[in-house]
A and B are shown apart, each in its own frame.
Chain A
């Protein structure tokens, strides 16, 4: 019994090493003095300094953050409303709508990218940063809706009924009862869409217009001259940001669940 426990923990650690060793190496190499990415030559902060002066990378980080935040905000609102509509009401053609929801998740990105750019072409909608935001909303809505729907499926409707019985108006019920209960799902969906948006390459490369180079596009264009340690540095910073976001999200997620159980 004890032996198996040790085996399991060793096994678990190996899985973690497998998952996180490449990321650890990336962070380590952002402090590497050598310009060649494959050789270790000692510690330096030089790449973080030169990153601060690299207008191209900084502009692309700014674009990525604008796209990530804007598309997450829009997709979270739309996706949550879609999930509520599908989860609460018997609609005509509901099965069809539900299948449509999965489409942006399952069709190959390259097809979605090509379709979007053709669509913009037909509308004579000139490519810019906003065409990227719209494209990201398209696939992020699906992720948010799917995650929120999953949360709703375990939802106890009697809580809402109780609120209505006790005299709350429908809107009050929504803000005071429904929303707090599904908040963990919404936050998880928003985080998921932000993460997917910030590292999307394929769809973005199709729909980005003048001045709309995002960080992944910037990194790809730099591959021609080799990934410089500046890229490692900016990736490490983004990683730190993501970790902070996830910690905040987990805190947020835990609180309402406890309250929900108590009530």
Chain B
């Protein structure tokens, strides 16, 4: 999950509003279309949907699926904003869902058409970014922890502590992402990662400034390769890529979900306001919510799904991998990054100071 720093998201939002005022689609004016054609245009993260799952859908329903891939959230915003991209389903991350809803680029879900909706774990529903899941259904979720090199770092405690330990000077990689870095610091200090109290934010900023001396690089693009190449001992990052590095060489690499808690992230399926192939969309959504189908997706992509009955069909090595499906108590300490309003400005200032230092 490489994501642009949320600082940038604010700027993109502002630009998006301006562009939207000029020529963007008016979601609220789009009439609800007819059933549409027997085809489906997907715009989805790479490696989020195994080909065999798509092929079986086409076999069953006769609906042809075209899909294009992306590796960050911003192209989704850009395509939907253009008003001329014919996508029927997109899979943005939590914060981007909120932006898309505010810009009226999504179509409300017709829940009555989804008989498999009950399969979703309520813990992943009704979040701040989309109250009541009016527009989005959680598709996969994960955590932001860190990967480490067992041969060099030795035994590590299940904590954020090693990333702030002067003994690891020059061997630490942090995500180049303001909210994620503050989340690590805030959790290490025992606070919520959505704290808005200026005193607490200041403590976190002081910690991150001190940490900067220890950090070799800030990177959100290919941190897992840097870890795998042996250039750092610790790499802060999303569980998906880091778990893949660990799976390729489990004796050398591991993933840690710190005991203090961490970021929980979710990518959700949404219908663009201008989507036309409505029958195909709902057929597909109900299809991927089927337990067996959903389990085949999880088995293929090694990301956790919020589908409860699917767990019966998921391969045990995935279900029991704490890097993919963490324990209940570890998960209970994780939080989604929420919109923290004016506190974002405070974080922006601190982050600029840290990066410029």
**Chain A interface residues (CB < 8 Å from chain B):** 35-39, 55-56, 114, 117-118, 120-122, 124-127, 205-206, 208-213, 217-218, 220-227
On whether the beta carbons of A126 and B225 are closer than 8 Å, the reply is no
Q: Known A210-B41, A210-B66, A211-B66; judge A120-B222 contact (CB<8 A).
A: no
Q: B200 at interface (Cβ–Cβ under 8 A)?
A: no
Q: Known A117-B78, A211-B66; judge A222-B84 contact (CB<8 A).
A: no
Q: List 7 A-B contacts (CB under 8 A).
A: A38-B230, A117-B78, A124-B84, A126-B84, A127-B84, A218-B69, A224-B71
Residue of A39, A55, A121 touching B229 (CB-CB under 8 A): A39
Q: Mark B228-258, 1 if CB is under 8 A from A, else 0.
A: 1110000000000100100010000000000
On whether the beta carbons of B82 and A117 are closer than 8 Å, the reply is yes
Residue of A36, A127, A217, A218 touching B86 (CB-CB under 8 A): A127
Residues of A within 8 A of B229 (CB): 36, 38-39
Question: What CA separation (Å) do A223 and B2 show in the bound complex?
Answer: 9
Q: B47 at interface (Cβ–Cβ under 8 A)?
A: yes
On whether the beta carbons of A205 and B75 are closer than 8 Å, the reply is yes
On whether the beta carbons of A55 and B51 are closer than 8 Å, the reply is yes
Q: B87 at interface (Cβ–Cβ under 8 A)?
A: yes
On whether the beta carbons of B68 and A212 are closer than 8 Å, the reply is yes
Q: Known A127-B85, A225-B241, A226-B222; judge A122-B23 contact (CB<8 A).
A: yes
Q: Which residue of B lies closest to A210 (CB)?
A: B41
Residues of A within 8 A of B24 (CB): 121
> 11 new A-B pairs (CB below 8 Å) besides A208-B68, A209-B84, A220-B71?
A38-B225, A126-B85, A126-B86, A127-B84, A127-B85, A206-B82, A210-B87, A221-B46, A224-B1, A225-B244, A226-B225
On whether the beta carbons of A210 and B82 are closer than 8 Å, the reply is no
Residues of A within 8 A of B69 (CB): 56, 213, 217-218, 221-222
Q: Known A208-B68, A210-B68, A224-B1; judge A121-B222 contact (CB<8 A).
A: no
Residues of B within 8 A of A120 (CB): 82, 84
On whether the beta carbons of A118 and B23 are closer than 8 Å, the reply is yes
By CB atoms of chain A within 10 A, which of B46, B66, B68, B71 has the most?
A: B68
